[in-house]
Amino acid sequence: MQTLNILDNRFSPFNTYSTLNTGTLVADSFNHSVVDKRQVIALMTKLQTTLDIDKLLDIFAVEVTKYIDFSGLYFQSKGLNKVLRGSRKAKKERQFELKIDNVFIGTLSYGINSPISGKNFEVLEQLHQCLLYPLKNAITYHEAIALARQDALTGLGNRRSFDEQLKRAMHNANRHHSLVGLVLGDLNKFKVINDTYGHVTGDLVLQEFANLLRLCIRDSDSLFRFGGDEFAIIVENANDTALSIIESRINFTLSTNALLNNYNLGCSLGSTFMNRGDNEVSFFKRADEILYRSKVQAARLTVV
């Protein structure tokens, strides 16, 4: 695996925040370049116009195709996998580790059907230099956006993330004539746990319940916490029994969880499939009404 290590310098021409008024600083860094300096400056200018990683790969690939014959381009970083649109399987992959001052940024892989020549290898090294800082900044931006959509306590999606995902899921279901389901969950008498054992214990209970939910769904399903003790699951590409199976798994796993049983934790569930006439409000409202009836029934059983 080839390692590309660019020294991080506060005057580096590759920094997104550097000024490129004349391009002289950039050009000076490519005095021995096998790539035309004007093309380098033009590429760096384009790369600094976006913080979208997919768009960065698109811009970068257009330049690389002038020098390298490849059929696929892939970028991997921690928790991040990106594939250039139109990428096709190739005979081999050539990987490059991208680093800035020995700090790993990610791995860039090319799908190739023939070896890369020595000269083209030099070209790649220089083009990678143009990509490093825009890519680093795009990753930082991506991570910040992801955190803004995440519940800090459980790591699940938050209400904002839920609203966005529900809209996308309903659109896709209408477009592909598939089933999408919604499961809402509300912990029974969770306030009693907080009042009796304290909020630290309450937080541990919420985290354990979130982990429990992860065990009860498919990788393609989406989990959310709205705050407090309210949870939601969006089930895409479902079949007729998907929601009942998930509810059964949750009830069974909850009944066998040693930690949660210590606090007699229960959970009410409300689930429904989207109707073709639904919008986000009507779909959620129907699931919420079913959840409310479930909570009322649970309360009656407790009294009895």
Catalytic residues: 229
For 265, other C-beta atoms within 10 Å of its C-beta total: 21
Listed in sequence order, the residues at least 6 apart from 124 whose beta carbon sits closer than 8 Å to its beta carbon are 64, 67, 68, 96, 116
Distance, CA of 125 to chain centre: 29
Report whether 50 contacts 28 (CB < 8 A). no
Distance, CA of 4 to CA of 153 (rounded, Å): 37
Q: Which amino acid is at 233?
A: I
Distance, CA of 147 to CA of 157 (rounded, Å): 9
SS3 269: strand
Distance, CA of 220 to CA of 236 (rounded, Å): 7
Greatest Cα-to-Cα distance within the chain, rounded to the nearest angstrom = 84
Distance, CA of 27 to CA of 20 (rounded, Å): 10
| DSSP collapsed to 3 states, 81-133 | EEECCCCCCCCEEEEEEEEECCEEEEEEEEEECCCCCHHHHHHHHHHHHHHHH
> Which burial class, exposed, middle or buried, applies to 90 when counting CB atoms under 10 A from its CB (0-12, 13-18, 19+)?
middle
Q: Which amino acid is at 61?
A: A
Distance, CA of 142 to CA of 140 (rounded, Å): 5
